[in-house]
Amino acid sequence: MAAPADSPEMLSLQAGLRQVERQRSMLIAVALLAVAMALVDRVGDRVWAIAIKDARSGSFVEQAYVPQRDQAMQVLGALKQQACTNHPFYRAAPQLFDEARPDFDEPVVVRRVRRVTPLTAATGALDLPLRTAVDALARLVKVDLDAYAVLDVRPGGQKRRLVSLPNLTLAKQATDTRLNNVTRQVEEQLRGTGGRLTEKPRFLETIEIERRRVPVDQVMSVDQAVAYLTCGELRDSWHLVQTGETDRRGLQRIAGKYDAKVADLEAWNPGRDLSTLNVGDRLIVRRPEPPLTVLTVEHRTYTEEVERGGRPAKHRVTVEIRRHNGVELEALRKETERKPVT
């Protein structure tokens, strides 16, 4: 005799059948998903991606795709070669570029990937010929190499990089040229004055030359380094208008003090009518601030006439004069010797 449909035995049997059906449906779904994934994996082409590490996220972002691995390596090699040929020094001395161990400032990897669908421009990745890939990646990676940096050593041991040059000889040449230029300038000013340099010119700052890793586009020639060590960067300052500086000729004299033109004064002071200046007005000027200061010490001897007991007398006076970058510092001028002339 069959059990009633609502008996516990029948209800248990029906629940078991439903459980079996659910398990079968789940297995079929998993199998179909596996098949779909296998099919998707076989769709598209396997290519080589050039990926650059994103400093913010810490992950590698694919930026270019090429069919073969050796083509990807060609792209990376072309980026370094481009950095070499764009630099006037290394273009003429490519062997020194190679010896400086050029590499990218951000980690770059080449890896095999499968392209299922073409990427759009919005993805940030590029599906381009090799030359175009090189041009696009040049905007994203910079080449670093070993160079020689002139460092300003601050109190406490902190070091600030001033300039970088390709090798130690050129780095020393740049600092020596800066010293020699000021020395010659001061010696020319001393001619006919009876003055003489009494100490070897030196930098006020403590400097070191050290091999460092720097971006290739920051490696300078000797001329560029000397120019920077001489003038540094232009910083805004004030000029107080004096008597005789309120007309056009006066403006030209003001501009000349800052190695500039009247047009520069007008650009530095937008919205101001410089034809109506008054004594005491202040003008914005841009004054160079040399990162290295050359100290020269000189002694100058001259004869000074004085009165002693109502009679004229002469003294031979020697003074010490200190200059910063060729400019005499009145506050540091001091008398070192005074002798009566008999």
pLDDT in tens, 216-238: 999 999 999 999 999 887 778 88
Handedness of CA 119, 120, 126, 128 (dihedral sign): positive
Cα gap 122→125, rounded to integer Å: 8
Phi, psi dihedrals of residue 252, rounded to the nearest 5° = -65, -35
| Spatial distance between the Cα atoms of 247 and 267, rounded to a whole number of angstroms | 18
Using the predicted structure, report yes or no on whether residue 86 has a pLDDT greater than 90: yes
CB 300 within 8 A of CB 193: yes
40-75: pLDDT as tens digits: 454 456 889 999 998 889 999 999 888 889 999 999
The whole-angstrom separation of Cα 218 and Cα 144 is 9
Residues 275-314: pLDDT tens digits?
A: 888 999 999 988 778 899 999 999 988 888 877 777 788 8
Give the pLDDT of residue 124.
Answer: 45
The more confidently predicted of residues 36 and 24 is 24
Q: Which helix (H) or strand (E) holds 117?
A: none
Q: Which helix (H) or strand (E) element contains residue 198?
A: none
> What is the structure's pLDDT at 36?
58
What's the start-to-end Cα distance of the chain, in Å? 155
pLDDT at 43: 44
Could you tell me the domains of the chain? 45-141 (no CATH), 146-229 (no CATH), 233-289 (3.10.350.10), 294-340 (no CATH)
pTM for the model: 0.69
The pLDDT value recorded for residue 120 is 43
Per-residue model confidence (pLDDT) at position 47: 86
Residue 262 has pLDDT above 50, yes or no: yes
Question: What pLDDT, on a 0 to 100 scale, did the predictor assign at position 166?
Answer: 97
pLDDT digits (tens, 9 = 90+) for 101-139: 999 999 999 999 887 555 444 344 555 678 888 888 998
Nearest-angstrom CA–CA distance, 61 and 53: 6
Q: Output the pLDDT for position 121.
A: 41
Does residue 321 contact residue 336 with C-beta atoms inside 8 Å? no
- 148 within 8 A of 168, measured Cβ to Cβ: yes
Tell me the per-residue pLDDT of 156-205, one tens digit each, with 9 for 90 and over. Answer: 899 999 999 999 999 999 999 999 999 999 999 888 887 899 999 999 99
What tokens does 46 get? 């396997």
Question: Can you give the pLDDT at residue 341?
Answer: 83
Residue 243 corresponds to which tokens in the numbers above?
């008597």
pLDDT at 21 over 80: no
Tokens linked to 103 = 């590499």
pLDDT of residue 119: 43
DSSP 242-287: -TT-SSHHHHHHHHHHTT--HHHHHHHSTT--GGG--TT-EEEEEE
Mean pLDDT over each residue of the chain, to the nearest integer: 86
Residue with tokens 């091999």: 211
Distance separating alpha carbons of residues 36 and 65, to the nearest angstrom:
25
Note the pLDDT of residue 308: 72
Q: The tokens of 114 are what?
A: 């499968």
Amino acid at 250: G
In this predicted structure, what is the pLDDT of residue 80? 96
Q: Residue 82 is encoded by which pair of tokens?
A: 């481009």
Cα-based distances in Å from 114 to 47, 67, 82, 137, 194 = 6, 11, 29, 21, 82
